[in-house]
Structure 1
């Protein structure tokens, strides 16, 4: 990690060309976020010993950063393969207070009201990347309309489990359908705000190292559209 990348980001534009491969981090899990993102969130919006939640655990990126930064951690996912990978990658941190369990982000039954100090999570972007073939609780298999309905339940649970005066940070990107943008990001932002959250920050995160970029470059030229090269990080606060 370079000296520049080690520092907290100070503006609303984030870009990490070096994806980050320290500790057990890998870039091999589809759609997982760069560890620089949860690192910045955890450092800015939580303190030593705080309890961090990522209910879309994936390959365990947030869990690793939470452990390295001396936070307690709860991670859930509905995908058994994701749980297996994240447990393997968090093995060296077994002495830390890390809980990784199967769970549905729409119904966090094992987590008490007002018990979480920070939510730091990266859900699927509707069905852009499908994470399973037939897992019934997998939000990545839903249509965009059903995805919004499920994310409304996710937002309700986030508001329930988060302590007052604490933050929920969620990374979300947009998609395109029939040549037109589908603004997943701002629609999800509004869903969370309608559940009672206030919007603290909007960060524009530049995308790097997209495996399908070359293919889409040629398609975009032929069909005359811009490649989506950004994601939104919404930082929301519960009062």
Structure 2
């Protein structure tokens, strides 16, 4: 564990050192810094609670949940992601935790009101493509279909989460044809329409983005600012 870790106290988060303790690595496209789930898990759950991440990716949330003595259900539609997650979580996994292929729109093996905390970082619409032809991979969806899928995700989140518990999601915005699409706030509103109440909006500064240099000169020529932040929405059932 990072020896200088301390809990965040404001709604502005910035982690210049992305965190490489335990088996964490920053090599999986779009994975979040372990500082994010660690802060969320410590603030919004207790030991032995059941944490859900239905967009598990390379397993960052699972590793943090297990290190913090929580149980984890980690799902991802991508079999390669699950393979990586299992390898990285192997040293910490317990008998009550699950890491498996699953569709965030249909959490068919999770009963109503059994999850203590949802902590997840969904893919964005058609920005980082996590597969080539998986018809259930929402990272491949058009914007319209993406929002439709997220509505199903929100409904399932609300169903499986216990009352008075929290769903925390991290998302950023995108730009199309020179104009900002407020993807994150549109997703936030979908969750609110499905019954959640908005507890917090946290702004996280982005660091170490591999594509930044490529876009720097383009942004100067086409006169737009580089997007350097993401949002963490804390939603309560």
| Structure 2 partner of 1:87 | 86
| Structure 1 partner of 2:153 | 154
**Shift of residue 96, structure 1, vs aligned partner:** 5.6
* CA deviations over 1:25-66 (Å, ceiling 9, x no partner): 000000000000000000000001000000001000000000
Which segments of 5 or more consecutive residues in structure 2 lack a partner in the other structure? none
- What are the within-5 Å matches in structure 2 for residues 41-56 of structure 1? 41-56=40-55
The 8 Å contact of residues 71 and 94 in structure 2, kept in 1 or not, is answered as: no
Confirm or deny that 1:227 pairs with 2:212: no
Confirm or deny that 1:178 pairs with 2:196: no
**Shift of residue 18, structure 1, vs aligned partner:** 0.0
The 4+ residue runs of structure 1 with deviation greater than 6 A are none
Distance 2:75 2:17 in 1: 27
Confirm or deny that 1:7 pairs with 2:20: no
**Shift of residue 2, structure 1, vs aligned partner:** 4.7
Normalised by the length of structure 2, the TM-score is 0.98
- What are the within-5 Å matches in structure 2 for residues 80-229 of structure 1? 80-95=79-94, 97-229=96-228
**Shift of residue 126, structure 1, vs aligned partner:** 1.0
Distance 2:126 2:202 in 1: 23
The 8 Å contact of residues 172 and 184 in structure 2, kept in 1 or not, is answered as: yes
**Shift of residue 168, structure 1, vs aligned partner:** 0.1
The 8 Å contact of residues 175 and 181 in structure 2, kept in 1 or not, is answered as: yes
* CA deviations over 1:123-144 (Å, ceiling 9, x no partner): 0011110000001110000011
3-state SS of 1:100 partner: strand
* CA deviations over 1:149-170 (Å, ceiling 9, x no partner): 0000000000000000000000
| Structure 2 partner of 1:29 | 28
**Shift of residue 111, structure 1, vs aligned partner:** 0.1
**Shift of residue 94, structure 1, vs aligned partner:** 3.1
The 8 Å contact of residues 74 and 100 in structure 1, kept in 2 or not, is answered as: yes
3-state SS of 1:92 partner: coil
Which segments of 5 or more consecutive residues in structure 1 lack a partner in the other structure? none
Normalised by the length of structure 1, the TM-score is 0.98
Number of aligned residues: 236
The 8 Å contact of residues 72 and 96 in structure 1, kept in 2 or not, is answered as: no
The 8 Å contact of residues 14 and 205 in structure 1, kept in 2 or not, is answered as: yes
The 8 Å contact of residues 173 and 182 in structure 2, kept in 1 or not, is answered as: yes
The 8 Å contact of residues 67 and 96 in structure 1, kept in 2 or not, is answered as: no
* CA deviations over 1:89-112 (Å, ceiling 9, x no partner): 011013463211111000000000
3-state SS of 2:91 partner: helix
Question: What's the Cα RMSD here?
Answer: 0.7
